[in-house]
C-alpha cells in the first residue's frame, strides 16, 4: 500500500494536440488549502513525437516532478489529471498567453490560477570550468532512494545548472543560482524551495554535501556522470513485441457507477475457450500495468500467464489513463464494482471459459478479490498477492514501523513514532466533527510534519478512501469465501507484513470451511515480489527484477492445477 504523498511514479505522456506550442513552458500558481498556501510550478513540454507532457512541483512540500498522468489542451482549455495525488485541474488559457485561470480539485474544489514563469537566461557558454558536466548522486529519504543529476555549465554570466530527477521523470529543471567560493559550491532551486551545498574534492572526484528542502535536509554526494547509460532503468523482464499471443485494447462499462473501463485483454494462441483472470491493482491511482518506478508488474505478470495458456484482462483504474470516472472520490468497495464489470465483460467473450474466471489482486487488489468472491459466484478462484488479513489501521502502523527500521532508524524511535501514528489514525476514525478533527490533527502533526504539508496531509487522511480503508476488516469477506484461494506474501514485505496478515487470512478461510486454499510466505521477496535485501521500498527502483520467477511460477502453476 502506498503511503500518503509518496509521489514517485514515472511520467506518462499525454495526447498530442494542435496549437499546443503556446501552452508550453513553466507556470507558477498558489493554492490555498487547509489554511496553508502551497506554491506550485507546472512544467509543460512536448515529447519527441509531439505529444504534450507535464510535471508539477509543490514547492512548500518539497515534492518535485509529480507526474501529470493526463493532459489535454483544446480550444484554449487545459485539463490535467494528477493521479499521484488524486487531483485534477481545469483551466482557461487567456488570449494574451500569460495566464491560465481555473480550478484544482482534490477531495474539494479550489481556485487556482497559473501565470507564465520567465526562465533565467543561461548565457553564452565560455571556456568550461573544472566542474562543468553532469554530476549524479542519490537522496535516501528512508522510504525510497531518488537519483539526482546536476548539469553544470560555465557561461559568460557565470556558472549555471539544471537538475534532473530520473526516478521521478523530471528533467532539465533550471536552477535559480550557482555560487562557487573556492571548493564550496551552492546550487539553489527556488522553485523547489531547495538548495545543495557541498565541498568539491581536490581531485574533482566528488562533491560532498547536503540537499535542503522544505525544512529538512539529507546528505548528498555527487560524482561525475561518465556514461548516460547509468541513468537508464534496466527492466529485463519487460516483454518485447511481437508477442506469441493475441493482444487487444478493449472497453467495458461499470453500469452500477457509470464508469467506462479501458483495458488490455491478452488471449493465448489456440482454440480455447481459455481460463482467464482479471488483475486488480494496488492502492493509489494505477495504470493497467501497475507502473511504478519504471517497473510494470502487471505487464510482466500478464505476459507470463498468457504464455502459460491463461487469458488476462488488466485495466486502468477509474480516472486513470483511458478509464473514465473520478478516482479521488472512490473507496475500495467502489473499485470492487469496477473489477466485477471486468468479470461480466469476460463472460461475453467466446474465447473465455465463463466457468474458469478468477481474480489476481496485488496489495489493495488482494483485499478486493475476496470481497468480490464472497458475493459473486462467477469467481472461480482468487490469488491474493500481499493482500491484507487485518484492518487498515493495523496495517499502516505496522508498515510505518517496519519501513523505518528497514531504513536504518532506531527501533525504539520507530516504535514511538508508530504509537503517534496510531493515535492520529484513531482520531480520524472516532472524531466526527470536521472542525475539531482538523484542529486535533494539526496539534498532533505540529513539529513532526513541515507546516506547508499539514493541510494536504489532513485532506488525504480524511478522504473517503482513507476512512474506508482504516476500518475495513478483510476477514469479514474471507470468512465467506469458498472458492479456491492462493494467498502469498514476500518474506521481506515491509508494507503488508506476512507475520501480521497471513495467519488471519488462514484462520478466516478455515472459519469459512474452505478446503481448497494455500497460504505461502515466499523467502527473500518484498512487497512487489522482487528478490530483495531488506524489503525496504527504497530498494524497489534499484532492483532490476520486476517480479521473481518464483512468484510467477507459483501463481501460474497453482491456477493451471485447478
pLDDT of 412 reads: 94
- Predicted local distance difference test score (pLDDT) of residue 1: 35
Listed residue (388, 362, 365) closest to 478, CA to CA: 388
Are residue 380 and residue 490 in the same domain, yes or no? yes
Q: DSSP character for 100?
A: E
Calpha distance 238→302 (Å, rounded) = 11
- pLDDT at site 234: 85
What pLDDT is stored for residue 243 in this prediction? Answer: 97
Give the pLDDT of residue 3: 33
Which residues span the domain enclosing 306?
Answer: 253-390+473-561
Q: Which pLDDT belongs to residue 2?
A: 35
The angle at the Cα of 521, spanning 518 to 523, to the nearest 5 degrees, equals 140
Residues ≥6 apart with Cβ < 8 Å to 420: 444, 448
pLDDT tens for each residue of the chain, 562 residues long: 333 322 222 122 222 222 344 788 888 888 876 556 778 889 888 877 778 888 888 776 656 678 888 888 887 888 888 876 777 888 888 877 788 998 888 766 788 999 887 655 555 668 899 999 999 998 887 667 788 999 999 988 899 999 988 776 567 788 999 999 999 999 998 877 789 999 999 999 999 999 988 667 889 999 999 887 777 778 999 999 999 999 999 999 999 999 999 999 999 999 989 999 999 999 988 999 998 888 999 999 999 999 999 999 999 999 888 899 888 889 999 999 999 999 999 999 999 999 999 999 999 999 999 999 999 999 999 999 999 999 999 999 999 999 989 888 899 999 999 998 999 999 999 988 888 988 888 888 887 776 666 777 788 888 889 999 999 999 999 999 999 999 999 999 999 999 999 999 999 999 999 999 999 999 999 999 999 999 988 888 889 999 999 999 999 999 999 9
Question: What's the rounded Cα separation, in Å, for the pair 54 and 73?
Answer: 12
The number of distinct structural domains making up the chain is 4
Full-model pTM: 0.72
User: How many CA atoms are closer than 13 Å to the CA of 542, on its beta-carbon side?
Assistant: 16
Query: Is the domain of 377 the same as that of 497?
Result: yes
- Let me know whether 261 and 360 are in one domain: yes
CATH number of the domain residue 556 falls in: 3.40.50.1820
Cell of 249: 485494447
50: in domain: yes
Residue 52 DSSP label: E
Residue 273 inside a domain? The answer is yes
Kindly report the CATH number assigned to the domain that includes residue 80.
2.40.128.120
Q: Are residues 459 and 345 in the same domain?
A: no
**Among 351, 360, 381, residue whose Cα is nearest residue 315:** 360
380-401 burial, b at 16+ Cβ within 10 Å, e below that, comes to bbbbbbbbbbbbbbbbbbbbbb
| DSSP H or E run through 456 | helix 451-461
Cell of 519: 497460504
Q: How far is CA 146 from CA 87, 150, 165, 283, 539, in A?
A: 23, 13, 7, 21, 10
Q: What is the pLDDT of residue 402?
A: 94
The answer to whether position 555 is within a domain reads yes
Q: Which three cell numbers stand for residue 295?
A: 517497473
Which of 415, 441, 469 is where one domain is finished? Answer: 469
**Residues 503, 533 within the same domain:** yes
The verdict on 413 and 438 lying in the same domain is yes
Q: What is the dihedral of CA 336, 429, 388, 372, to 10 degrees?
A: -20
Q: 383 with 296, same domain?
A: yes
343 and 487 assigned to the same domain: yes
- Is 44 among the domain residues? yes
In DSSP terms, which residues pair with 456 in a beta bridge?
none
Strands 352-362 and 133-140: unpaired
Contact 358, 381 (CB under 8 A): yes
Whether 25 and 101 share a structural domain = yes
Q: Confirm if 47 and 20 have CB atoms less than 8 A apart.
A: no
Q: Indicate if 369 and 268 belong to the same structural domain.
A: yes
Q: Considering only the C-alpha atoms of the chain, give the largest distance between any 2 of them, rounded to a whole number of Å.
A: 78
With respect to residue 330, please indicate whether it lies within any of the assigned structural domains: yes
* 3-state SS, residue 123: coil
Last residue of a domain, one of 469, 497, 521: 469
Amino acid at each position: 500500500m502506498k503511503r500518503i504523498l509518496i509521489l514517485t511514479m514515472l511520467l506518462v505522456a499525454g495526447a498530442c494536440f494542435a496549437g499546443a506550442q503556446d501552452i508550453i513552458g513553466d507556470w507558477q500558481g498558489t493554492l490555498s488549502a487547509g489554511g496553508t498556501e502551497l506554491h506550485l510550478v507546472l512544467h509543460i513540454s512536448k515529447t519527441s513525437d509531439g505529444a504534450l507532457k507535464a510535471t508539477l512541483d509543490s514547492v512548500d512540500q518539497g515534492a518535485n516532478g509529480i507526474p501529470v498522468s493526463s493532459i489535454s489542451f483544446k480550444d484554449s482549455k487545459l485539463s490535467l489529471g494528477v493521479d499521484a495525488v488524486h487531483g485534477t485541474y481545469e483551466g482557461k488559457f487567456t488570449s494574451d498567453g500569460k495566464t491560465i485561470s481555473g480550478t484544482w480539485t482534490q477531495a474539494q474544489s479550489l481556485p487556482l490560477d497559473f501565470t507564465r514563469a520567465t526562465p533565467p537566461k543561461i548565457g553564452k557558454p565560455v571556456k568550461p570550468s573544472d566542474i562543468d558536466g553532469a554530476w549524479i548522486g542519490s537522496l535516501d529519504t528512508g522510504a525510497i532512494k531518488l537519483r539526482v543529476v546536476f548539469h553544470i555549465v560555465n557561461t559568460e554570466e557565470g556558472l549555471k545548472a539544471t537538475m534532473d530527477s530520473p526516478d521521478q521523470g523530471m528533467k532539465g529543471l533550471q536552477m535559480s543560482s550557482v555560487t562557487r567560493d573556492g571548493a564550496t559550491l551552492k546550487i539553489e532551486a527556488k522553485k523547489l524551495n531547495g538548495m545543495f551545498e557541498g565541498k568539491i574534492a581536490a581531485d574533482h572526484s566528488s562533491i560532498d554535501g547536503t540537499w535542503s528542502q522544505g525544512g529538512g535536509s539529507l546528505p548528498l554526494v555527487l560524482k561525475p556522470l561518465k556514461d548516460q547509460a547509468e541513468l537508464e532503468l534496466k527492466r529485463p523482464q519487460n516483454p518485447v513485441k511481437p508477442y506469441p499471443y493475441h493482444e487487444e485494447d478493449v472497453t467495458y462499462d461499470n453500469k452500477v457507477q457509470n464508469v467506462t473501463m479501458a483495458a488490455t485483454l491478452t488471449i493465448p494462441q489456440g482454440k480455447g475457450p481459455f481460463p482467464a483472470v482479471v488483475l486488480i491493482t494496488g492502492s493509489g491511482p494505477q495504470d493497467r500495468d501497475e507502473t511504478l518506478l519504471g517497473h510494470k508488474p502487471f505487464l510482466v505478470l500478464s505476459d507470463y500467464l498468457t504464455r502459460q495458456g491463461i487469458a488476462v484482462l488488466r485495466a486502468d483504474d477509474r480516472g486513470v489513463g483511458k478509464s473514465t470516472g473520478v478516482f479521488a472520490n472512490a473507496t475500495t468497495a467502489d473499485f470492487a464494482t469496477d473489477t466485477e464489470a471486468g468479470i461480466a465483460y469476460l463472460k461475453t467473450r467466446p474465447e473465455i471459459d465463463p466457468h474458469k474466471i478468477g481474480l489476481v489482486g496485488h496489495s489493495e487488489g488482494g483485499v478486493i478479490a475476496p470481497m468480490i468472491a464472497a458475493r459473486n459466484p462467477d469467481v472461480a478462484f482468487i490469488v491474493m498477492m500481499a493482500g491484507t488479513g487485518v484492518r487498515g489501521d493495523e496495517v499502516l502502523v505496522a508498515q510505518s514501523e517496519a519501513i523505518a527500521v528497514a531504513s536504518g532508524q532506531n527501533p525504539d524511535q520507530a516504535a514511538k513514532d508508530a504509537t503517534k501514528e496510531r493515535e492520529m489514525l484513531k482520531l480520524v476514525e472516532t472524531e466526527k466533527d470536521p472542525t475539531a478533527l482538523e484542529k486535533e490533527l494539526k496539534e498532533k502533526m505540529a513539529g513532526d510534519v513541515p507546516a506547508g504539508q499539514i493541510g494536504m496531509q489532513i485532506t488525504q487522511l480524511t478522504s473517503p478512501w482513507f476512512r474506508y480503508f482504516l476500518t475495513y476488516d478483510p476477514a469479514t469477506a474471507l470468512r465467506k469465501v469458498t472458492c479456491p484461494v492462493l494467498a502469498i506474501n514476500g518474506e521481506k514485505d515491509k508494507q503488508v507484513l506476512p507475520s501480521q496478515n497471513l495467519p488471519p487470512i488462514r484462520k478466516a478461510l478455515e472459519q469459512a470451511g474452505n478446503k481448497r486454499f494455500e497460504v505461502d510466505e515466499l523467502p527473500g521477496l518484498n512487497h512487489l515480489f522482487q528478490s530483495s535485501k531488506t524489503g525496504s521500498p527504497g530498494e524497489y527502483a534499484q532492483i532490476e527484477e520486476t517480479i521473481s520467477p518464483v512468484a510467477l511460477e507459483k501463481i501460474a502453476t497453482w491456477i493451471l492445477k485447478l
